[in-house]
Amino acid sequence: MPSARTLDTPLIFNKMLQEKKFYLTKEGLEKIKKEYDELLKLKLSKTTGDVPKIWHSEDLNPEYLAFQEDLSFLESRIAELEHILKNAELIKPPAKEKKDFVSLGSRVLVEVEGQKDEFEIVGTLEANPSIGRISNESPVGKALLGHRVGDEVIVSSPVKTIYKIKKIIHIS
């Protein structure tokens, strides 16, 4: 007989997944909404147009199978976007008393081994390190959150690196 712990694990994981917040900038939220609306229109046009017949002589119609596969993919992406929109939280500028600290939406100028670098801290869905947008869940993003100008932040992933915060700009 499985232990209670085994039975609860999927429920706990599911609950954690459902409660996860997706932090988005205003632009990121608009992009998600636009994709969602476009996919709903696409689904409507696919399902109201000519749907391939299920049977082609005595065999299953390959066009129908491809249609079903496309529709299934489309529906799963729509469901994913609905989940994101339901759990989205807009990144807002910090309160006046917290403006000295790195937070979500901050653009942070740091110095690493004499080199200057700049990061914008965003949610996981908008992260793109190649253009300087790092996730609040990444090792560097997580380490910088809550610190202020002048702080030295040590990140050990996979090599120990010291980030000295030089400037914080809050983006609205």
DSSP H or E run through 60? strand 59-60
Judged against a pLDDT cut of 90, whether residue 67 lies above it is answered with no
Which residues, 6 or more positions from 12, have their beta carbon under 8 angstroms from its beta carbon? none
CA distances, 155 to each of 8, 48, 171 (Å): 34, 54, 24
Judged against a pLDDT cut of 50, whether residue 9 lies above it is answered with no
Residue-wise pLDDT tens digits, 33-52: 999 999 999 998 888 877 67
Whether 119 and 148 map to the same domain: the answer is yes
What is the total count of domains within the chain?
Answer: 2
Asked whether the beta carbons of 133 and 120 are under 8 A apart, the reply is yes
Whether 57 and 11 map to the same domain: the answer is yes
Range of the domain at 138: 96-170
Whether 59 and 77 map to the same domain: the answer is yes
Within a domain: residue 2? no
pLDDT of residue 131: 96
Q: Which of 64, 90, 116 is the last residue of a domain?
A: 90
Q: Which of 32, 57, 90 is the last residue of a domain?
A: 90
Residue-wise pLDDT tens digits, 109-160: 999 999 999 999 999 999 999 999 999 999 999 999 999 999 999 998 788 9
* pTM metric for this prediction: 0.76
Whether 21 and 68 map to the same domain: the answer is yes
Whether 20 and 84 map to the same domain: the answer is yes
Whether 14 and 74 map to the same domain: the answer is yes
- Identify the CATH number of the domain in which residue 125 sits: 3.10.50.30
Whether 82 and 132 map to the same domain: the answer is no
Q: Is the pLDDT higher at 46 or at 89? A: 89
